[in-house]
Amino acid sequence: MKQAIAILDSGVGGLTVVREVMRQLPREEIIYFGDTARAPYGPRDPQEVRQFTREIVAYLMQYDPKMIVIACNTATAVALDDIRAMVDVPVVGVIHPGARAAIKITRSNRIGVIGTVGTIRSDAYRIALESISPMVEVYSLACPDFVPLVEQGLYRSEEALHVVERSLEPLRGLPLDCLILGCTHYPFLADSISQVMGNDVRLISSAEETAREISTILYQTGRLERTVELPVHRFFCSGQPVTFQTIARQWLGNQIEVCPVVWQVPQIS
Active site residues: 72, 183
- Say if residue 42 carries a ligand binding annotation: yes
* 184 annotated as a binding-site residue: yes
To the question of whether residue 139 is assigned a binding role by annotation, the answer is no
| 76 is known to lie in a ligand binding site | no
Q: Outline where DSSP puts E strands in 105-257.
A: 110-115, 137-142, 178-182, 202-204, 234-237
Q: Is 16 annotated as a binding residue?
A: no
For 11, residues 6+ apart whose C-beta sits below 8 A from its C-beta are 34, 35, 36, 39, 40, 147, 150, 151, 185, 237, 244
* Residue 96 is assigned to a ligand binding site: no
Instruction: Check whether 109 is labelled as a binding-site residue.
Output: no
Q: What backbone phi and psi angles, to 5 degrees, belong to 246?
A: -60, -50
Backbone angles phi, psi at 164, to 5 degrees: -65, -45
Residue 197 parent element (H or E):
helix 190-197
State how far the alpha carbon of 245 is from the alpha carbons of 9, 57, 154, 261, in Å: 15, 21, 14, 14
Q: Distance between CA atoms of 42 and 48, rounded to whole angstroms?
A: 11
Q: Judge whether 9 is annotated as a binding position.
A: yes
Coil, strand, or helix at residue 181? strand
- 193, 186 Cβ separation under 8 angstroms: yes
Q: Which residues carry a binding-site annotation?
A: 9-10, 41-42, 73-74, 184-185
Q: Which residues carry a binding-site annotation for substrate?
A: 9-10, 41-42, 73-74, 184-185
